[in-house]
Amino acid sequence: MTGLLELLGLGASAELLSLSGWGGNLLRGLANSLQIAFGAFGLGLVIGLFGAYGKLYGGKVTRDLLAIYTTVIRAVPELVLILILYYVGSDIINKISAAMGGGRVEINGVAAGIWVLGVVQGAYATEVLRGAIKAVPTGQIEAAKSYGMPAFMIMRRVTIPAMMSFAVPGLANLWLIATKDTALLAVVGFNELTLETRQAASSTRAYFTFFLAAGFLYLMVTLCSGAVFARVEKWARRGQPSLKGGAR
C-alpha cells in the first residue's frame, strides 16, 4: 500500500491525511457536519410538517404569516440568515439568562448550527410537504373522517403514509442541501468539515490535498445518501404502479 502510494508520488499527501495527522481532524469535522445536518433536517421536517398543515388548513392569518416566512427565507441568502438567526438566538438566550439572574451563556456550536439551519430548512420543507399532502387524494382523508378518526390519527395513519412517496424526492434534495449548507457555518467559525479543512490546509500549505480530500468526503456523503434515498423511495412507493416508461 505505502509502496504504491510512493510510486504515485502521493506519499507526502498520504502522510498528511493519516488519521494521527490532519486526517483525524477532517473526520471529526465531518462528524460535526453530519450531526448538524441530521439535526437541522429533523428540525426542518418538524417545522415543515406544521407549516404545511398551517398553509393548507390554517386560518387566513396563519396562512399569510407562513407565506411571508417561506418567501423571505427563500429570497435571502443562507449566509445572511445564518448570521441574523445566530445573533437573534444568542441575544434571546442571554436576555433570558440575564432575566433569571444568570450570566452570559456560552452557546454550543452544534446546537446553534442546528437551530439556524433548521429554520432555513423548515421553509423549504413546508413547500415540499405542502405539495405532497395536496397530492394525496381527498377521498382517502374524507373516508378517514367519515369513520370518525381524530385529526392526529388521520395524519399518522392516512396522510403521512400516503404522501410519503410524493415527498421523498423533495426531501432527499433537502437533505443534500442540508449537508452542503453545513459548510456555510464555517464562515461563523463552527468547527465543521470545511473549516477544519481550511485550517489544515493553511497550516501545512497543502491546499489541493486537503480541499480535494474534503471534496471527496462530501461527495461520498452525497452519493451514499443518494443510494439510501433511492431505497427509501422504493419503500415509500411500495404497492404503487411504477413510474418508469410513463414520463421519460
Partner 1 sequence: MISLKDLMQPHRVVMMLVFAGIVIWCAIALRWDWIPKYAPLALEGLWATVWILAVSTFLGFLLAVPLGLAQAVGPWYLSIPARTFCTIIRGTPLLLQIWLLYYGLGSLFPQFPWIRSSELWPYLRQAWPYAVLALTLSYAGYEGEVMRGAFSGVAKGQLEAAKSFGMPRFTMFRRIWLPQAVRNVLPTLGGETILQLKATPLVATITVMEIYAVSSRVRADTFIVYEPLLLLALVYMGIAGVISLAFRRLEKG
Q: What are the residues binding partner 1 (CB under 8 A)?
A: 60-61, 64-65, 72, 74-81, 83-84, 87, 176, 180-184, 186-187, 194, 197-198, 201-202, 205, 207-208, 211-212, 214-215, 218-219, 222-223, 248
Q: Which of 126, 93, 86, 91 is nearest to 110 (CA)?
A: 86
Kindly state the smallest distance separating residue 55's Cβ from partner 1, in Å.
15
Nearer to partner 1, 45 or 73 (CB): 73
Contact by Cβ (8 Å): 35, 185 = no
For residue 131, give the C-alpha cell.
405539495
User: What is the number of alpha carbons within 13 Å of residue 11 lying toward its C-beta?
Assistant: 6
Nearer to partner 1, 174 or 186 (CB): 186
Nearer to partner 1, 7 or 75 (CB): 75
Nearer to partner 1, 187 or 243 (CB): 187
Kindly state the smallest distance separating residue 94's Cβ from partner 1, in Å.
13
Nearer to partner 1, 98 or 223 (CB): 223
Kindly state the smallest distance separating residue 194's Cβ from partner 1, in Å.
5
DSSP, collapsed to helix, strand or coil, labels residue 213 as helix
Question: For the chain, what is the largest distance between any 2 Cα atoms, rounded to a whole number of angstroms?
Answer: 73
Kindly state the smallest distance separating residue 143's Cβ from partner 1, in Å.
33
Nearer to partner 1, 244 or 248 (CB): 248
User: Which residues are within 8 A (CB) of 172 and not within 5 positions of it... i.e. 6 or more apart?
Assistant: 225, 226, 229, 232, 233
- The whole-angstrom separation of Cα 87 and Cα 102 is 19
Contact by Cβ (8 Å): 116, 85 = yes
Kindly state the smallest distance separating residue 38's Cβ from partner 1, in Å.
17
Kindly state the smallest distance separating residue 3's Cβ from partner 1, in Å.
27
Kindly tell me the burial class for residue 216, based on how many C-beta atoms sit within 10 Å of its own C-beta (0-12, 13-18, 19 or more).
exposed
